[in-house]
């Protein structure tokens, strides 16, 4: 076949292959256009999951009649001046409308503020229909029918109606978070309607919009982030470590108001939370980055969800630093929100003390155990009063006034209860009462330190707390001086693409500080002579390749640092005071003082609180004294 120029429609269909993946991408493009036009209300209606109909109506600037034909022509945009490096709108490529028009039936009805009437234009599978007068309010209505009718192959890839609808819903929410001053409504044929009234552009308004999208409990479980470095500003909210998800879908990121899905940002969030979350849990985050448009490239992919930062290390460092700092300052909150739930569970006359989830499992376990006849578990047995009885015993009986009464009995009669109270009963020193975690008064159940401040009762999980302290100390040691390394008997040669080898060599000094000694070994290879002793026997090839990937992506060697941190965490877990060890009063107080002095000690390495604080006022309320 000779070379020939493709037809306009064919070119547009090829572009559509990248820009218009599914109904949600049409909605994204149309909503972005509405927002670029300064709309304060955006109304979206879909049918058949968006495949039979998508209609987006806005009250924005509108398109003059004489420009309608241009709006649907390729490479025509009102948003880009002469500088591709200065993009301040969501759109700039001038290809969404012609792409949609090449694979669907598209009509645009619009009216500007100038007083002329409204006009309409259509394009169906690339065939342009003439402009004609229409009736409409100020603003624009874009209607897309029969999506992909002109490209049946793509149609086959669509998931069910419900899946497409939900992808569209997610898309609208994602965009809406960045535009709290705009009212959004989304109605589909499945009667699920999303309504997001405008909340305003103030910080409170922004948070209110976030709550509309992510749920009312998010703000209560989130910490504000606000940080700045070298002209890059980061704002938003991240969840406290006890509020997590099983996947990272609830991590929203925006660069200059544009929703993005960015590996660097996701990696930075993971790194920031690595210390406080188990590996299979994910934080919930909403982060807004603002920076000079010239220092970020949004023209990476036609769908505009990818970005490239000119200084990825700066952006990553800012995100990790800001989140870690906020988490460190919020240790107390992480613990307190747990205490609030506890107080609710305790409320007299309320529901009997109920554990979520596993409690029923315990109960059936107990029932099975009793039925087996193995136990001294029968009612009336002394075991029921013994401190060794399973914790859930009290639940088998309806508890009166919300308290499990035999829980109390155990406190009175157990010989251990008094033996555990090692700190004695003398009034504690006034100075200790003024500290954040107070004066230790007793150790109970061989693991819980009960302390007293001027206005609260503090209960510390000694194992969790100590584990965290050991971990922080290890990490400090790790990052304050060079990490000890061990020589390999034979240097290990890792073959890599030449660029990767070059990149690793450029970072060799930093790597050496973390105990990884490597150097160039001819073209396309590095020789590893030393590895961090902490890693023990390690897969050097894999480690080096992972590092090369990361340097290529992010220009950092965080992978190695994170790996070492994880090992420090494991070591801490094994090296710390086990529950069950009896502590002297001085030891308990020393632990409390150390916790106060250590950032991040409010949560253990797995994100659970290391202590809870019950305010005296709340305790008095429980007893009806207030
Ligand atoms: P881009 O958004 O990249 O400019 P589009 O193909 O999405 O490209 O839109 C082409 C042009 O049509 C826009 O530049 C804008 O001038 C005009 N336009 C599209 N949608 C709207 C709208 N809802 N309100 C006002 N103008 C619009
Ligand atoms: Mg556009």
pLDDT of 291-326, one tens digit each?
Answer: 999 999 988 888 888 899 999 999 999 999 999 989
Closest C-alpha to ligand 1, atom 14: 77
Q: Which atom of ligand 1 is nearest to the CA of 71?
A: 12
Mean pLDDT lowest among 155-169, 199-213, 329-343, 571-585: 329-343
Domain boundary among 135, 168, 196: 196
Give dist(CA 81, CA 78) in Å, integer: 8
Predicted local confidence at residue 22, as pLDDT: 95
Give dist(CA 199, CA 197) in Å, integer: 6
CA of 77 relative to ligand 2 center, distance in Å:
8
- 67/136 same-domain check: yes
Q: Closest ligand to 95 CA? A: 1
Count how many domains the chain has: 4
Mean pLDDT lowest among 29-43, 366-380, 560-574: 366-380
Ligand 1 pocket, mutate which of 18, 25, 91 (most atoms under 8 A from CB): 91
Predicted local confidence at residue 341, as pLDDT: 57
Predicted local confidence at residue 576, as pLDDT: 63
State the CATH number of the domain containing residue 525: 3.30.1370.100
State the CATH number of the domain containing residue 613: 3.30.1540.20
Domain boundary among 541, 564, 587: 564
Range of the domain at 416: 360-477+572-622
Whether residue 312 lies inside any domain: the answer is yes
Predicted local confidence at residue 392, as pLDDT: 31
Q: Is the pLDDT of residue 560 over 90?
A: no
- 560/602 same-domain check: no
Mean pLDDT lowest among 81-85, 295-299, 343-347: 343-347
Mean pLDDT lowest among 161-165, 422-426, 543-547: 422-426
- 120/267 same-domain check: no
CA of 83 relative to ligand 2 center, distance in Å:
17
- 229/128 same-domain check: no
Q: How many CA atoms lie within 13 Å of 528's alpha carbon, on the beta-carbon side?
A: 25
Neighbours of 413 (CB within 10 A): 13
Kindly list the protein residues whose Cβ atom lies closer than 6 A to any atom of ligand 1: 29, 33-34, 37, 58, 60-63, 71, 77-79, 91-97, 140
Q: Report helix angle 8-19 to 96-103, nearest 10.
A: 100
Span 507-517, pLDDT tens digits: 888 888 888 89
Beta bridge partners of 254: 259, 288
Two tokens at 469?
A: 């302290």
Closest C-alpha to ligand 1, atom 7: 96
CA of 29 relative to ligand 1 center, distance in Å:
9
Span 575-584, pLDDT tens digits: 665 666 788 8
Residues contacting 400, CB < 8 A, separation 6+? none
Domain boundary among 283, 314, 329: 329
Ligand 1 pocket, mutate which of 12, 64, 97, 175 (most atoms under 8 A from CB): 97
- 507/408 same-domain check: no
- 40/189 same-domain check: yes
- 472/487 same-domain check: no
Two tokens at 616?
A: 């005296």
- 188/251 same-domain check: no
Whether residue 202 lies inside any domain: the answer is no
The DSSP line for 220-238 is HTEEEEEEEETTEEEEEEE
Q: Is the pLDDT of residue 218 over 50?
A: yes
Give dist(CA 277, CA 283) in Å, integer: 8
Closest C-alpha to ligand 1, atom 17: 71
Contact 265, 305 (CB under 8 A): no
State the CATH number of the domain containing residue 126: 3.30.565.10
Q: Are strands 53-58 and 105-111 parallel, antiparallel or unpaired?
A: unpaired
Better-scored residue on pLDDT, 208 or 620? 208
Whether residue 560 lies inside any domain: the answer is yes
Closest C-alpha to ligand 1, atom 19: 33
Q: To the nearest whole number, what is the mean pLDDT of the chain?
A: 81
Mean pLDDT lowest among 54-58, 60-64, 322-326: 322-326
CA of 190 relative to ligand 2 center, distance in Å:
27
Two tokens at 365?
A: 């376990």
Whether residue 371 lies inside any domain: the answer is yes
- 533/463 same-domain check: no
Find, among 601, 605, 566, the residue nearest to 330 by Cα.
601
Give dist(CA 576, CA 605) in Å, integer: 12
pTM of the model: 0.68
Q: Closest ligand to 97 CA? A: 1
- 321/439 same-domain check: no
CA of 71 relative to ligand 1 center, distance in Å:
6
- Rounded mean pLDDT of 125-140? 95
CA of 554 relative to ligand 2 center, distance in Å:
29
Mean pLDDT lowest among 143-147, 255-259, 441-445, 602-606: 602-606
- 180/234 same-domain check: no
Whether residue 204 lies inside any domain: the answer is no
CA of 33 relative to ligand 1 center, distance in Å:
5
Span 393-414, pLDDT tens digits: 333 333 333 333 333 333 333 3
Whether residue 353 lies inside any domain: the answer is no
pLDDT-based confidence at residue 574 (cuts at 50, 70, 90): low
Closest C-alpha to ligand 1, atom 16: 78
Two tokens at 412?
A: 């009175």
State the CATH number of the domain containing residue 221: 3.30.230.10
Whether residue 3 lies inside any domain: the answer is no
Predicted local confidence at residue 343, as pLDDT: 60
Predicted local confidence at residue 342, as pLDDT: 60
CA distances to 30, 66, 104, 306 from 75, in Å: 16, 17, 19, 20
Span 236-283, pLDDT tens digits: 999 988 788 888 889 999 999 999 998 899 999 998 988 788 777 889
Predicted local confidence at residue 80, as pLDDT: 85
- 426/319 same-domain check: no
Whether residue 277 lies inside any domain: the answer is yes
Q: Closest ligand to 28 CA? A: 2
Span 453-505, pLDDT tens digits: 998 899 999 888 888 888 887 777 777 777 788 898 889 999 998 888 988 89
């Amino acid at each position: 076949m000779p070379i020939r120029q493709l037809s306009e429609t064919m070119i547009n269909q090829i572009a559509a292959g990248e820009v218009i993946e599914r109904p949600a991408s049409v909605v994204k493009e149309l909503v972005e256009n509405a927002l670029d036009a300064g709309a304060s209300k955006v109304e979206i209606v879909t049918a058949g999951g968006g495949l039979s109909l998508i209609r987006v109506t806005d009250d924005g600037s509108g398109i003059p009649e004489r420009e309608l034909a241009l709006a649907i022509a390729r490479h025509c945009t009102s948003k880009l001046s002469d500088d591709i490096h200065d993009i301040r709108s969501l759109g700039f490529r001038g290809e969404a409308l012609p792409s949609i028009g090449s694979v669907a039936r598209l009509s645009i009805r619009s009216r500007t503020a100038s007083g002329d009437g409204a006009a309409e234009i259509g394009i169906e599978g690339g065939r342009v229909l003439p402009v004609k007068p229409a009736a409409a309010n100020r603003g624009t209505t874009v209607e897309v029918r029969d999506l992909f009718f002109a490209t049946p192959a793509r149609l086959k890839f669509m998931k069910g109606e419900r899946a497409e609808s939900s992808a569209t819903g997610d898309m609208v929410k994602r965009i809406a978070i960045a535009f709290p001053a705009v009212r959004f409504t989304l109605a589909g044929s499945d009667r699920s309607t999303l309504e997001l009234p405008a909340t305003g552009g103030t910080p409170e308004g922004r948070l209110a919009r976030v709550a509309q999208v992510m749920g009312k409990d998010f703000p209560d479980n989130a910490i504000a982030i606000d940080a700045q470095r070298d002209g890059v500003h980061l704002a938003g909210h991240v969840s406290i470590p006890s509020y997590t998800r099983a996947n990272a879908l609830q991590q929203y990121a925006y660069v200059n108001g544009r929703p993005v899905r960015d590996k660097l940002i996701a990696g930075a969030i993971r790194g920031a939370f690595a210390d406080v979350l188990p590996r299979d849990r994910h934080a919930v985050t909403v982060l807004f980055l603002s920076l000079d448009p010239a220092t970020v490239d949004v023209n990476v992919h036609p769908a505009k969800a990818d970005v490239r930062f000119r200084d990825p290390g700066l952006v990553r460092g800012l995100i990790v630093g800001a989140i870690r700092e906020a988490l460190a300052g919020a240790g107390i909150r992480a613990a307190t929100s747990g205490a609030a739930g506890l107080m609710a569970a305790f409320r007299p006359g309320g529901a009997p003390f109920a554990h979520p989830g596993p409690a029923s499992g315990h109960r059936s376990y107990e029932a099975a155990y009793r039925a087996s006849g193995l136990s001294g578990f029968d009612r009336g047995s002394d075991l029921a009063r013994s401190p060794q009885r399973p914790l859930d015993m009290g639940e088998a009986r309806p508890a009166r006034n919300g308290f499990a009464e035999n829980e109390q009995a155990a406190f009175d009669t157990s010989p251990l209860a008094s033996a555990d109270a090692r700190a004695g009963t003398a009034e504690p020193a006034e100075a200790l009462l003024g500290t954040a975690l107070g004066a230790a008064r007793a150790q109970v159940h061989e693991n819980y330190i009960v302390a007293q401040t001027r206005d609260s009762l503090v209960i510390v999980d000694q194992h969790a707390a100590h584990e965290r302290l050991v971990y922080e100390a290890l990490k400090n040691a790790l990052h304050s001086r060079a990490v000890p390394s061990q020589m390999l008997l034979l240097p290990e040669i890792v073959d890599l693409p030449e660029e990767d080898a070059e990149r690793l060599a450029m970072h060799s000094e930093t790597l050496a500080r973390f105990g990884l000694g490597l150097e160039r070994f001819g073209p396309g290879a590095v020789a590893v002579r030393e590895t961090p002793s902490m890693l023990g026997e390690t897969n050097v090839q894999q480690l080096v390749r992972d590092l090369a990937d990361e340097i290529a992506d992010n220009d950092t060697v965080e992978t190695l640092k994170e790996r070492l941190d994880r090992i420090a965490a494991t070591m801490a877990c094994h090296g710390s005071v086990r529950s069950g060890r009896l502590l002297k009063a001085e030891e308990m107080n020393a632990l409390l003082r150390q916790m106060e002095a250590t950032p991040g000690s409010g949560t253990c390495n797995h994100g659970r609180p290391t202590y809870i604080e019950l305010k005296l006022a709340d305790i008095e309320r429980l007893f009806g004294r207030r």
